[in-house]
């Protein structure tokens, strides 16, 4: 298996349920014959949907995808709480049927309204957040009582798609949110606000920034030659572009600061995608009115990163 040479780019995977994000990375490493594969934005094992993977030198771009906003489709089950705030956990409480029956649609919409916009959210204790060097879910599974601090997140859309009533109340929702928002915590907090408990029974990520699930490939169907999105393609979707001359591409590739007589992009500390005449992403730069300075360079395909 290769270590870092070979084609570089991003893969959009439609993660199946039952696999961890690390499982997906391990599978892709074998399929593309390189160990240098990373992912941006972990999905829980029960979750499905868009997982963005970087291959070889393009793993450097993952840093810029982690903080992008996300979209999810989810089903929130009202009337029961679990230890993990999702269906993988053990049931910790079940609401009395008469209490659950008293929750009408208007109450559900009102509760969701309180969880929309800029809110303070306490992440689920069973999460990948590190507490004193160890992930919270590891401490929970070791029997520790983990309490995480609230953090500010933005839920820009929390739309009810359907409400179904049986033994529980299942609410299908669409959520658009900032990076670091936990849909499981939204379900938990909605259930708590309504006094009946809540957890997520299904969760599917449908968008990361400008990239949607429609461009994703099932993991067993990966064809690197077909599915690998070039670093330049990704960078053009994320950043302003500085088109380089042949000489500028060489200089920037050597780490030199470029003098710009008249900057074609607005001055910004970064990042700006620096694209060579052959369409290759040379790297990301910060741009002033007169200069472009390297943030990082991307090695040419086939070279060691």
CATH of the domain at 15: 3.30.2350.10
Q: Are residues 81 and 164 in the same domain?
A: yes
Say if strands 198-208 and 48-55 run parallel, antiparallel, or are unpaired: parallel
How far apart CA 224 and CA 118 sit, in angstroms, is 39
The answer to whether position 303 is within a domain reads no
Task: Cite the beta strand spans of the chain per DSSP E.
Answer: 9-15, 37-40, 48-55, 70-78, 80-82, 91-94, 117-121, 130-131, 134-135, 151-165, 169-177, 198-208, 211-212, 217-218, 241-243, 258-259, 268-275, 281-287, 291-297
Q: Are residues 43 and 156 in the same domain?
A: no
Find the CATH number of the domain harbouring 275.
Answer: 2.30.130.10
Q: Are residues 131 and 253 in the same domain?
A: no
Instruction: Encode burial over 120-145: b for 16+ CB neighbours within 10 A, e otherwise.
Output: ebebbbbbebebeeeebbebbeeeee
CB-based contacts of 244: which residues, under 8 Å, 6+ apart? 252, 258, 274, 275, 276, 277, 282
pLDDT at 45 (0 to 100): 87
CB 302 within 8 A of CB 283: no
pLDDT at 168 (0 to 100): 97
Q: Are residues 123 and 44 in the same domain?
A: no
CB 182 within 8 A of CB 120: no
CB 73 within 8 A of CB 187: no
Q: Are residues 63 and 193 in the same domain?
A: no
Q: Report the number of distinct structural domains present in the chain.
A: 3
pLDDT at 303 (0 to 100): 47
How far apart CA 254 and CA 236 sit, in angstroms, is 22
Low-confidence ranges of the chain (pLDDT < 70): 1-5, 126-146, 262-264, 266, 300-305
Find the domain containing 224 and state its range: 9-68+210-229
Quick one: 17 exposed, middle or buried, by C-beta within 10 A (0-12, 13-18, 19+)? middle
By three-state DSSP, how is residue 252 classified? helix
Q: Are residues 44 and 91 in the same domain?
A: no
Q: Where are the alpha helices (DSSP H) in the chain?
A: 21-32, 63-66, 97-101, 105-114, 136-141, 183-194, 224-227, 231-238, 246-253
| 243-281 pLDDT, tens digit each | 999 999 999 999 999 998 766 676 777 799 999 999 999
> From the candidates 14, 23, 33, 44, which is the catalytic residue?
44
Q: Are residues 214 and 147 in the same domain?
A: no
The answer to whether position 139 is within a domain reads yes
The position carrying tokens 């499982």 is: 23
Residue 296: closest CA among 230, 252, 239: 252
Q: Are residues 202 and 74 in the same domain?
A: yes
How far apart CA 261 and CA 242 sit, in angstroms, is 13
The answer to whether position 305 is within a domain reads no
Query: How many CA within 13 A on the CB side of residue 180?
Result: 13
How far apart CA 86 and CA 77 sit, in angstroms, is 9
The answer to whether position 46 is within a domain reads yes
| Cα-trace Rg, the chain | 22
Q: Which two tokens stand for residue 286?
A: 């910060």
Active site residue 44: yes
| 51-74 pLDDT, tens digit each | 999 999 999 999 999 999 999 999
């Amino acid at each position: 298996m290769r270590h870092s040479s070979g084609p570089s780019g991003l893969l959009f995977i439609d993660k199946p349920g039952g696999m961890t994000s690390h499982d997906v990375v391990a599978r892709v490493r074998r399929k593309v014959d390189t160990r240098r594969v990373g992912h941006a934005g972990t999905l829980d094992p029960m979750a499905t949907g868009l997982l963005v993977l970087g291959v070889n030198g393009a793993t450097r771009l993952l840093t810029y995808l982690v903080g992008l906003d996300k979209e999810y489709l989810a089903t929130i089950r009202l009337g029961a709480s679990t230890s993990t705030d999702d269906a993988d956990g053990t049931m910790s409480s079940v609401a009395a049927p008469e209490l659950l029956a008293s929750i009408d649609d208007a109450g559900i919409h009102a509760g969701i309204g309180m969880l929309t916009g800029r809110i303070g959210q306490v992440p689920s204790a069973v999460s990948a957040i590190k507490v004193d060097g160890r992930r919270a879910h590891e401490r929970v599974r070791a029997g520790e009582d983990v309490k995480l601090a609230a953090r500010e997140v933005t839920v820009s859309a929390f739309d009810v798609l359907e409400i179904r009533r049986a033994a529980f109340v299942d609410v299908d929702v669409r959520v658009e949110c900032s990076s670091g928002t936990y849909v499981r915590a939204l379900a938990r907090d909605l259930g708590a606000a309504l006094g009946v408990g809540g957890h997520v029974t299904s969760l599917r990520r449908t968008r990361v920034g400008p990239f949607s699930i429609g461009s994703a490939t099932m993991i067993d169907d990966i064809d690197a030659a077909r599915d690998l999105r070039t670093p330049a393609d990704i960078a053009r979707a994320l950043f302003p572009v500085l088109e380089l001359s042949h000489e500028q591409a060489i200089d920037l590739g050597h780490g030199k600061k470029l003098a710009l007589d008249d900057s074609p992009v607005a001055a910004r500390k970064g990042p700006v995608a620096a694209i060579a005449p052959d369409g290759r992403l040379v790297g990301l730069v910060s741009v002033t009115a007169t200069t472009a300075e390297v943030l990082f360079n991307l090695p040419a395909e086939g070279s060691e990163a």
